[in-house]
Amino acid sequence: MEIIITGGASGLGEAITRKVATDIADATIYITYSKSEQNALKLMDSYPNVRATKCDFANAGEVSDFTAKVKDINPDILIHNSYFGEFIKNHFHKIDAEDYLKSFEMNILPIIKISQQALLCFRKKKFGKIISISTAALINKPPIGASEYVANKSYLEALSKSWATENAGFNITSNCISPSFMETAFTQNMDERVVEEIKNKHPLKKLLTPEEVAETVLFLICAPQHINGISLVMNAASDIR
């Protein structure tokens, strides 16, 4: 089984790589990295079934090289995990309008290009799964200052549903996982008091971990093709839609 994980060398992506490399014996895992080269090398040392490629989404050449490589990999599973940018940035009216375009170009266009190539492979073999990491911040009220982030993730969720409906007849699925707050590099700049408050308000009084999300990714990798077009929300029912 050939599995692609974008941003598979750090944060949640690293947890997914470790889980999948350990639990799926026949998997070859193709991870991309942008800044985390050292971590990518360590993962290749630890797991002989992991291969790493640099693909900075800001670099059009690297994105087109990796997209071409997807054809050679001929994947069975594609996991969209990479995200460039901030969770809490600023109030909507204070963000330069061009920033939304730049963020779209960095976060969504590479996903579109990679997915188009992967879907061509999937349709030929009449099997495939796309798993996209979205966010529980899309449930009900978005956090203040997160408009750029939730706009990108809403776009991703909409694409994910289109991939599901357009390709279901080819035995291809597309699902999202929408985690709540996790402590990773992505959230490290948040005020400690805010993080403590999130923890205190959490029904389980503890934060979700990347390892728990990685287990859920593994669940979707192994799930029957009848699970299609969903967003699996991991927020312990703290904010039911």
Footprint of ligand NAP on this chain (CB under 6 A)? 7, 9-13, 33-36, 55-58, 81-84, 133, 135, 179, 181-182, 184-187
Q: What are phi and psi of 86, to 5 degrees?
A: -110, 155
Rounded to the nearest whole angstrom, what is the least distance from the CB of residue 122 to ligand NAP in the complex? 21
The angle at the Cα of 215, spanning 8 to 171, to the nearest 5 degrees, equals 80
The terminus-to-terminus CA distance of the chain in angstroms comes to 35
Among 8, 7, 10, residue whose Cα is nearest residue 188: 10
Beta-carbon count within 10 A of 7 CB: 26
By C-beta, is 206 or 226 nearer to ligand NAP? 206
Nearest to 238 by CA among 162, 195, 179: 179
Output 36 or 173, the one with its CB closest to ligand NAP.
36
107 within 8 A of 84, measured Cβ to Cβ: yes
Instruction: Report d(CA 235, CA 232) in Å as an integer.
Output: 10
Give the nearer residue to ligand NAP in terms of CB position, either 143 or 229: 143
The C-alpha R_g of the chain, in whole angstroms, comes to: 17
- Amino acid at site 34: S
Which value, to the nearest 10 degrees, does the dihedral of the CA atoms of residues 227, 231, 233, 234 take?
A: 70
Dist. CA 125–CA 112, nearest whole Å: 20
CB 65 → ligand NAP: shortest distance, Å? 13
* Closer Cβ to ligand NAP, 119 or 233, answer by number: 233
Residue nearest to ligand NAP (CB): 11
Q: Closer to ligand NAP at the Cβ: 168 or 215?
A: 215
Residue listed under structure tokens 């990773």: 184
Nearer to ligand NAP, 44 or 168 (CB): 44
Separation CA 12–CA 27 (nearest Å)? 19
